[in-house]
Amino acid sequence: MITLVGLPGSGKSTVGRQLGRRLQLPFFDSDAVIEERIGCSIRDYFAREGEDAFRDVEQAVLADLGASPDPMVLATGGGIVLREANRLCLRRSGTVVYLRSTPEELARRLRHDTQRPLLQGVDPLTRLRDLYAARDPLYREVAGFTIDSARRSVAMMVGTVLMQLELSGFNTGEPPPDDIP
């Protein structure tokens, strides 16, 4: 399993979807799987049941996906690393890629977003700075490698992930460049 972690807006879902296509692997977005399981939006569930209940569902979904023997690409929610059990599952389930962006870049990308519960009703830049301070060490703890996603195109990020996977010994299925015999 190739898992993408990072703060909200770092490009996990977009890059993950393209990476899955390039590697011809199924792509899953843990937030979409959670919404399917709970039968409503994460925002509504979060408001109704609270963060702890949401994190319980998130942990169960990650455990289910991580237990699959089939290769896949997984984009996770930004807070997946908050629980030790999730960090352990991520490290055991394959390669973890941290898509790192600065809080300032993320605030620019997310300035019109109304769906992320942790960014509503507060100054998003301040909230993103707080999230970054708390989560960056946890993302680094689980990541096999880190890619700076600020101001990079999706194609550039996918290419960088593929290159890093290949360098780490992961068979990407991509043909070698023409100049390599």
Q: Are strands 95-100 and 27-29 parallel, antiparallel or unpaired?
A: unpaired
Q: pTM to 2 decimals?
A: 0.86
What 3-state class would DSSP assign to 6?
Answer: coil
Each residue of 139-180: pLDDT tens digit?
Answer: 999 999 999 887 778 899 999 999 999 888 776 555 444 443
Q: How far apart are CA 152 and CA 79, in angstroms?
A: 23
Residue 126 has pLDDT above 90, yes or no: no
Q: Are 149 and 124 in contact (CB under 8 A)?
A: no
Each residue of 20-62: pLDDT tens digit?
Answer: 999 999 999 999 999 999 999 988 998 899 989 999 999 999 9
Enumerate the domain spans of the chain.
2-166
Each residue of 51-108: pLDDT tens digit?
Answer: 899 999 999 999 999 999 999 999 999 999 999 999 999 999 999 999 999 998 887 7
| pLDDT confidence band for 9 (50 / 70 / 90) | confident
Q: Are 5 and 100 in contact (CB under 8 A)?
A: no
- List strand residue ranges (DSSP E) for 30-149, in order: 73-75, 95-100, 145-148
What fold does the segment set 2-166 form as a domain? Rossmann fold (3.40.50)
Tell me, what's the pLDDT at 176?
46
Q: Are 100 and 147 in contact (CB under 8 A)?
A: yes
